[in-house]
Amino acid sequence: MGACMKPPHLAIVTSKCNGHTLYTNIHIYKEKFALNKMSTVGQQISQGMGYLHARGILHKDLKSKNIFIEKNNKVVITDFGLFNFSKLYNRVGNGLSIPRGWLCYLAPEIMRSLRAHQKYEDEELPISKESDVYAFGTVWFELLCGEWPFKDQSPESIIFQVGKGMKPSLANLQASQDVKDVLMKCWSYKPSDRPDFITLMKSLEKLPKKRILARSPSHPLNLSRSAESVF
């Protein structure tokens, strides 16, 4: 890595990412991850995010499009700290142009802060280490289910449900309790109830290996407010 700190030419130089994004593997190639690969990917994301958080750096936009899978399943996290809410405003400036799937990564406290026809600076939104953890939960859901939560639902519906603490049911997902627990802990309604990334990494290290998860196309249809009622 390198950096130019001499104004006005500020820049960061990083290594080139080889391979595909996690988004491409999941949503384009429809790859079904064995649990051992899923766990390895999750551990590396948690390790990288834990490193950033330990140095006071928030990602702000953790999602499968910002995670690359290189050879030998090496994970590279990109675009950390670069998110700017102003990029989402449409040309007219009276609304947001919401990328597909983006809302699914936003924590409830961020959803509740959004107001129609209102412009935001990043510091006005409750973006935090805990909201990064929530976003990781959505990445974990993508690995588990091969799609985003709240599939084919309108932005208004997603904002309402997440803001109220409603979660897609995992009742039809054939996975062990500890696999589901990782998701539900990350998706805890209260930020203080979410684990940090070091704790997540330790939980992922304990998951069983060598199994491909069975997915049901009907699993997102049922919604729940609590982790206890989805199993």
pLDDT score of 40 more than 80: yes
Task: Output the pLDDT for position 208.
Answer: 78
Task: Output the pLDDT for position 121.
Answer: 57
Residue type (1 letter), 28: I
Would you tell me the crossing angle of helices 129-145 and 177-186 to the nearest 10 degrees? 140
H helical segments located in the chain = 22-23, 35-54, 108-111, 129-145, 155-163, 177-186, 197-205
pTM to 2 decimal places = 0.82
Structure tokens at 124: 């006005």
Task: Output the pLDDT for position 6.
Answer: 73
Percent of residues in the chain assigned helix, strand, coil, to nearest 5: 45, 10, 45
- Rounded Cα distance, 122 and 80, in Å: 14
Are 158 and 104 spatial neighbours (Cβ–Cβ below 8 Å)? yes
Q: What is the average pLDDT score of the chain? A: 82
Are 210 and 35 spatial neighbours (Cβ–Cβ below 8 Å)? yes
pLDDT score of 1 more than 90: no
- Rounded Cα distance, 146 and 149, in Å: 10
Tell me if the bond preceding 8 is cis, omega within 30° of 0.
Answer: yes
Structure tokens at 211: 């199994």
- Rounded Cα distance, 161 and 171, in Å: 18
Task: Output the pLDDT for position 221.
Answer: 39
Task: Output the pLDDT for position 119.
Answer: 58
Task: Output the pLDDT for position 217.
Answer: 41
Query: CA neighbours within 13 Å on the CB side: how many for 65?
Result: 9
Q: How far is CA 6 from the centre of its chain?
A: 34
Confidence of residue 43 (pLDDT cuts 50, 70, 90): very high
Are 146 and 215 spatial neighbours (Cβ–Cβ below 8 Å)? yes
pLDDT score of 148 more than 70: yes
Task: Output the pLDDT for position 113.
Answer: 86
Tens digits of per-residue pLDDT, 150-186? Answer: 988 998 899 999 999 999 888 788 888 999 999 999 9
Q: Annotated active-site positions, please?
A: 61
Which domains, and CATH codes, for the chain? 19-230 (1.10.510.10)
Tens digits of per-residue pLDDT, 177-219? Answer: 999 999 999 999 999 999 999 999 999 999 976 555 555 444 4
pLDDT score of 229 more than 50: no
Structure tokens at 118: 């209102």
3-state secondary structure of 139: helix
Looking only at Cα atoms, what is the longest distance across the chain? 55
Task: Output the pLDDT for position 227.
Answer: 39
Tens digits of per-residue pLDDT, 74-129? Answer: 999 987 645 556 565 555 555 666 778 889 999 999 999 876 555 555 556 888 99
pLDDT score of 50 more than 90: yes
CA 222, 150, 136, 187 torsion-angle sign: negative
- Rounded Cα distance, 84 and 183, in Å: 26
Please name every residue paired with 3 in a beta bridge, in sequence order, or none if there are none. 12
- Rounded Cα distance, 12 and 88, in Å: 23
